[in-house]
Amino acid sequence: MTQSRVLYRASILHFSQATQNVNEDACYFDDGALVVENSRIVAVGGYAELVIDYATAKQVDYSKRLIIPGLIDSHLHYPQTEMIAKYGEQLLNWLENFTFPTENKFASYAYCQKIAKHFVQQLINNGTTTAFAFSTVHKQASEALFTEASKFNMAIVTGKVCMDRHCPDSLQDTPESAQRESQELIESWHGNGRNLYALTPRFAPTSSAKQLSMLGELAQQYPDVFIQTHLSENHHEIEWVKKLFPAQKSYLDVYDNFNMVRPRALFGHCLHLQQEDWQRLAEAKATAVFCPTSNLFLGSGLFDLQKAQDFGVSVALATDVGAGTSFNMLNTFGEAYKIGQLQGKPLSALEGLYMMTQGPAHNYGLSDQIGNLNPGSYADFVVLNPQFNALSQLRTADSESVEDVLFALSFIGDDRAVEASYIAGEECKQELEII
């Protein structure tokens, strides 16, 4: 265990606070230092200054590397790790033909453990140090992920998927069992170490009104617990929701009716929302989660970032593996950039970085712990090597700015550009085992 003071020398980039103007408010130290002690950051700044202030610290030289905060993936599915990149279907067929059969395998605890291990390694190796992950309907699937993440002292957020209809019998719970098991998991895991719980109704079509109502009761009883679900992803799904909940004004209104639109509620996709829904998300301080690789892969639609920004809705980036096609958050930004291009609004690399670090951390009320490199935050950080292979060397050797480096890595980089991933001050990157 690294318990002594360590000073890491590198270029350093982060957002120290919430901002509307990412291009102006990024903190960058070309020759920087990050000082870490007992799992937390104690100082960040220029090397020349901090090397004097912390003269007795052990030094680790990451010159020519770039340190950024550990990345936050705000929506993905750990059981879908093994079924990433399954060909040719749109959402509802994809769920039926690939997803549900795969999630059935989590009836075995040994299987949960195996996939949890593989999943956590994928996150770490790609520089993701906090993830909002769906588990399966099996309570033990959440337990396996919390247990695995705890080995790395990683801040993981997960929850038992709740669904009591419109899916195979073997994957159905009931309103009562969903409420009871979710509450048991909250009591055992939420705030236990760095683990956090998210109430996880899969999406409106697979939960009865009674189930949503009973989960809404928990949402009110535990206001600091997260809520994660899907919203307005696919046109067939949206039509289905209209038929299932005819009394509700909109898809979002279904969740709202059951007290699930509030701070710490994360809505995956938000592709085909009505104006009032954007307004409501903003007012509730909920988060719209933009999953570009998934939206392209399932042919679901193009996220309207301009609209989200016009309404003042907080947006987080996410992979949505296994409909998403990469665990890598920088590559995920790369696809978000392309979606922006199609809409005449290319995103900057700094906007992308913000939506996977300080932006969501702030909106989730976690910015005293993650999402930045401020003193007091956990020492969750990533060391990027902009010159990890011949092409990236050629491309970034004479780069004019850190933004250009980050942008290039978002397209020509992958997990090889992640030289090290630190969680709570410990280096956790390791070669993937075939397990």
Residues that bind ligand GUN (CB under 6 A): 77, 91, 95, 99, 202-203, 230, 233, 294, 320, 323
CB of 298 to ligand GUN, least distance (A): 6
CB of 75 to ligand GUN, least distance (A): 9
| Rounded Cα–Cα distance for residues 356 and 392 (Å) | 22
As to burial, measured by CB atoms within 10 angstroms (0-12 exposed, 13-18 middle, 19+ buried), residue 174 is: middle
Which residue's CB is nearer to ligand GUN, number 8 or number 251?
251
Q: Which two tokens stand for residue 399?
A: 């780069």
Which residue's CB is nearer to ligand GUN, number 233 or number 253?
233
Which residue's CB is nearer to ligand GUN, number 173 or number 320?
320
202 makes contact, choosing from ligand GUN, Zn ion, none, with CB < 5 to 8 Å by partner type, with ligand GUN
CB of 81 to ligand GUN, least distance (A): 12
Q: How many residues are present in the chain?
A: 435
3 state SS of 233: coil
CB of 248 to ligand GUN, least distance (A): 18
Q: Which residues bind Zn ion (CB under 5 A)?
A: 268, 320
As to burial, measured by CB atoms within 10 angstroms (0-12 exposed, 13-18 middle, 19+ buried), residue 1 is: exposed
As a three-state string, the secondary structure of 95-141 is HHHHHHHHHHHHHCHHHHHHHHHHHHHHHHHCCEEEEEEECCCCHHH
> 212: which residues sit within 8 A by CB, 6+ positions away?
201, 204, 254, 255, 257, 258, 260
Which residue's CB is nearer to ligand GUN, number 73 or number 403?
73
CB of 67 to Zn ion, least distance (A): 30
Which residue's CB is nearer to Zn ion, number 268 or number 359?
268
Which residue's CB is nearer to ligand GUN, number 233 or number 419?
233
Are 237 and 203 within 8 A, CB to CB?
A: yes
Backbone angles phi, psi at 230, to 5 degrees: -110, 150
As to burial, measured by CB atoms within 10 angstroms (0-12 exposed, 13-18 middle, 19+ buried), residue 259 is: middle
CB of 230 to ligand GUN, least distance (A): 4
CB of 102 to Zn ion, least distance (A): 13
CA angle (380 as vertex; 145, 268 as ends), nearest 5? 55
65 makes contact, choosing from Zn ion, ligand GUN, none, with CB < 5 to 8 Å by partner type, with none
Which residue's CB is nearer to ligand GUN, number 201 or number 352?
201
> 191: which residues sit within 8 A by CB, 6+ positions away?
none
Are 420 and 382 within 8 A, CB to CB?
A: yes
